Amino acid sequence: MPLSGALGLGCGPFPRLGMAGLAGGLIGAFAIGAIIAVGRVLLGRAGLSLRRAARLSRAMAGASCGSGWSRR
């Protein structure tokens, strides 16, 4: 979040970008957070693991989504 303020107001070495800087800083902060979170999951340090997903049949998809895909 400090990146948003720095880009919006032009603090330090950052250019003053106004509202575009606030939005860019927020997107950058969330992107960095997402990269860190995905990295922790892939390295196994997040307390959960990813495994290959089972194939999803049409009947299962229809039943879980309620979209009417399942045959009656």
Tell the residue number behind the tokens 């860190």, with chain if given. Answer: 36
Which letter does DSSP use for residue 50 in this model?
-
Mean pLDDT of 57-71: 61
**pLDDT averaged over every residue in the chain:** 76
Buried b (16+ CB within 10 A) or exposed e, 13-35: eeeebeeebbeebeeeeeeeeee
pLDDT tens digits, residue range 29-52?
899 999 998 888 888 777 776 665
Return d(Cα 24, Cα 16) in angstroms, integer.
12
The encoded tokens of residue 21 equal 């800087």
Q: Where are the domains of the chain?
A: 2-65
* Global pTM value: 0.55
The encoded tokens of residue 29 equal 């902060």
